[in-house]
Amino acid sequence: MNINYNSERQIFKIDTENSSYIMMVRRNGYLQHLYYGAYIKDDDLEYLFSDVINESFSPWAPSAGVKFFALDTQPQEYSCNGAGDYRVSAFSVEMECGNSATALKYVSHEIFDGKKRLSGLPAVYVEEDSMAKTLEITMLDELSGAQVVLSYCVVDGFDAVMRYTRVKNTSNKAFFIEKVYSTCVDFDDKDYDLIHLYGTWAAERTMERKPIIQGIQEIASKRGSSSHNHNPFVALVDHNATEEHGNAYGFTLCYSGNFSAKIEVDTIDQTRVIMGINPEDFKWKLCPGEEFTSPEAIMVYSADGIGGMSRQFHKLIRKNICRGKYKNVRRPILINNWEATYFEFNTEKLIKIAEAAAPLGIEMLVMDDGWFGTRNDETTSIGDWIVNENKLPGGLSVLTDKLSQLGMKFGLWFEPEIVSFNSELYRSHPDWCIHVPGRDRSVGRETAVLDMSRKEVVDHVFNAVSSVLRSADISYVKWDFNRNLTEVGSAALPADRQKEVFHRYVLGVYDLAERLTSTFPDILFEGCSGGGGRFDCGMFYYFPQIWTSDDTDAFERCKIQYGSSICYPTSVMSAHVSASPNHQTARKMSFETRGNVATSGSFGYELDLSIISNEEKEMVKAQVERYKDLYDTIVNGDNYRLIDPFTNSRWCAWEYVSEDKSRAVLTYVVTKYKIKGRYHIKLAGLDPNTLYKESVTGRCYYGDTLMNAGINLGNDLHDGDSAILVFDKV
């Protein structure tokens, strides 16, 4: 990695091992983008620019010193709105006079070792300064006094560039930031497919791939969270890019609130990508001297196709975003009571489940929703974090004492940001939720969303949750969030700051998460939002795993886990074996296949283990032992997607290869029986010259054979059949 400034030509060159990112100060201070792609040695690419003449319909920049230099047709490094560039833009401020035409010019720059922390925001981090390099370019919009620092950072070992923007008001009047995207990249062609991950509750991160078209396409959320509907991830890939070949550019945001990613192909066939906080419902008042920091965007380039891009993201998220004790320690294999009991449980019932689980090797019992207040269904008590002694007489310690006798740990569900309308908390503080005075409050699961933009609300939740966590031996917290924001306003902010609430809300959530995770460093925090409704790099900074989806059906999970893996590593995906027929889809599935699919994740069970058959209990034992054995390869290895469940109607497959290539773990699942189907598969990522022994047949193959000729799984496979095959170096 390196960052270099060519002072003669005013060119910045940011290099990772396999990628280069180049920009240039040009024509009276306009900062122009030159190149992003495979590593190149040269930096002087000014010859690539051509001044496109389109006189009156793309007026030329007022102070560029030459005619025909139109910002509208030139690649920009951080485009502004209203001063000549008509494409989607990254930045604008509204001045006191009401005008918002903005024009940023280069002022200075600094290159230094290390990476700054973003105050109050999650971001990629490094342990030592020698592991990263940062470039900060200071720009100024002279008229408004908006000083903008564009930050670029590279981290040793990754083909990734991290970007964010800091805005400072250097004038003596307040102004409003109308939009402040975190990244903006201009490409000089339009020959790409767009990959994005859309979905809904219980069907998150469906992969879609389509050629980009003239005009604007936006992937975004306005729900107050990153959402089930659109994940904060987009990629531009060559039309012919495959899993292993072709250029792939991935963009994701370390942010859990409203986001926007826009892709515009302009009429001269150039493409712009911008990503950041969604400017809709956003406006931030910046008083003289004040600063605003945008979330961080992560950009990955790979010449090794979509798989190469994904593996870069996986490693970066695992190693430089996830934190805490459980970053490197194997997470306990758990039994969660939600699908086993829903709200119908008491101490006795939970102990029965734990007594069945402990001898099978399961290490932790998680008590899900329904343990507090008077909550026996969805209608009450969220916010009243007091143990319901009708269900749990004697409190949590009765349960934890019993669990410790069984050698098991204990975990607990919370929904810290939510309040039930029917709760003591809501009755005593009706103004503590997000609302607009005088407007009826929308109802989501009989709840409102707490106003996390208010410090006293965050303090209250911190104290309430902490006192439960201190009251018993608790090793895990499942932090759920089951409602999107509506009627967004805060009783604590003046009129001209109401459009700050969405972002202040997210900052409040991060503050709470930071305080709880640092106060209780031994607790494993799992994120959740009705499954994977807030599954993003912002959350992974606090929670090293997230409940991937409320859909636990093995076929559906093949898609959800596959789609998620386009950007996110297996280590962050919680996956549980649940009952058959499945509670979401009613599909029947063998115990074996449910276990095989859940093994590709942070593993656990979510069914009543006290009523399963002895044969199934033996299978649980075997699955638990196998998971422990395969954990390191699955969680820390390289993930190769082999057969895509979205486009192959017959089966799907994926593989993990250990870092030293001494072990590979292949999983396949047959999703539809076809008569006379052939089930051959080629592995990937192996050492061609290593001899591997396959675990089921004992047959040995060289790596090159497995990758080129593949293996034959026969043709007698049926709907729902699956297997995990392990290939160990002989």
Residue type, 202: A
Task: Choose the stretch contacting ligand DGJ; rule: CB under 6 A; options: 307-315, 527-535, 648-656, 673-681.
Answer: 527-535
CB of 550 to ligand DGJ, least distance (A): 5
Q: Closest separation between CB of residue 532 and ligand DGJ, Å? A: 9
Cβ-based neighbour number of residue 479 at 10 Å: 26
DSSP for 606-624, written as a single string = ES-TTSS-HHHHHHHHHHH
Q: How many CB atoms lie within 10 A of CB 52?
A: 14
The piece of 301-309, 528-536, 538-546, 582-590 that touches ligand DGJ (CB under 6 A) is: 528-536
Cβ(726)–Cβ(705) under 8 Å?
A: no
* 480 touching ligand DGJ, by CB under 6 A: yes
Contact 654, 600 (CB under 8 A): yes
Say which amino acid occupies 220.
Answer: A
To ligand DGJ, the closest distance from the beta carbon of 413 in angstroms equals: 6
Q: Which one of 41-49, 141-149, 221-229, 524-532 is the stretch in contact with ligand DGJ (CB under 6 A)?
A: 524-532
How do 476-479 and 409-414 pair as beta strands?
Answer: parallel
Please say if 369 is a catalytic residue. no
Q: Which stretch binds ligand DGJ (CB under 6 A): 229-237, 523-531, 563-571, 648-656?
A: 523-531
- When asked if residue 528 is in the footprint of ligand DGJ (CB under 6 A), the reply is yes
Q: Which of residues 658-717 bind ligand DGJ (CB under 6 A)?
A: none
Nearer to ligand DGJ (CB atom), residue 415 or residue 592: 415
Helix (H, G, I), strand (E, B) or coil at 218: strand
Spot the catalytic one: 480, 551, 638, 721: 480
Closest-CB residue for ligand DGJ?
369
Instruction: Please pick, among 72, 550, 551, 721, the residue that the annotation labels catalytic.
Output: 550
Which one of 345, 371, 413, 542 is in contact with ligand DGJ (CB under 6 A)? 413
DSSP string for residues in 302-350: ESBHHHHHHHHHHHHHHHHT--SGGGTSPPPPEEE-HHHHTT---HHHH
Could you say whether residue 550 binds ligand DGJ (CB under 6 A)? yes
Which is nearest to 354 in space by CA: 618, 608, 697? 608
Is 530 near ligand DGJ (CB under 6 A)? yes
Smallest distance, ligand DGJ to C-beta of residue 228, A: 11
Q: Which of 380, 482, 574, 600 binds ligand DGJ (CB under 6 A)?
A: 482
Q: Would you say 186 or 368 has its CB closer to ligand DGJ?
A: 368
Judge whether 480 counts as a catalytic residue: yes
Nearer to ligand DGJ, 417 or 500 (CB): 417
Total residues binding ligand DGJ (CB under 6 A): 11
Helix, strand, coil percentages for the chain (3-state, nearest 5): 20, 35, 45
- Per rule CB under 6 A, is residue 531 in the interface with ligand DGJ? yes
Identify whether the C-beta of residue 433 lies closer than 8 Å to the C-beta of residue 443.
no
Of 168 and 594, the one with the shorter C-beta distance to ligand DGJ is 594
Q: Which residue, 251 or 481, has its beta carbon nearer to ligand DGJ? A: 481
Alpha-carbon distance 302 to 644, whole Å?
A: 20
- Residue 369 sits in the site that holds ligand DGJ (CB under 6 A): yes
For ligand DGJ, give the closer residue by CB, 528 or 653.
528
Q: Which residues of 544-560 are buried (b: 16+ CB within 10 A; e: fewer)?
A: bbbbbbbbbbbbbbbbb
> Between the CA of residue 334 and those of 91, 365, 392, 575, 602, what are the distances in Å?
46, 6, 20, 10, 9
Kindly tell me which of 21 and 385 has the beta carbon lying closer to ligand DGJ. Answer: 385
d(CA 463, CA 720): 47
Residue with tokens 């919009």: 141
If the CB atoms of residues 30 and 547 are measured against ligand DGJ, the closer one turns out to be 547
Binding site for ligand DGJ (CB under 6 A): 338, 368-369, 413, 480, 482, 528, 530-531, 547, 550
Among all residues, which ones are annotated catalytic?
480, 550
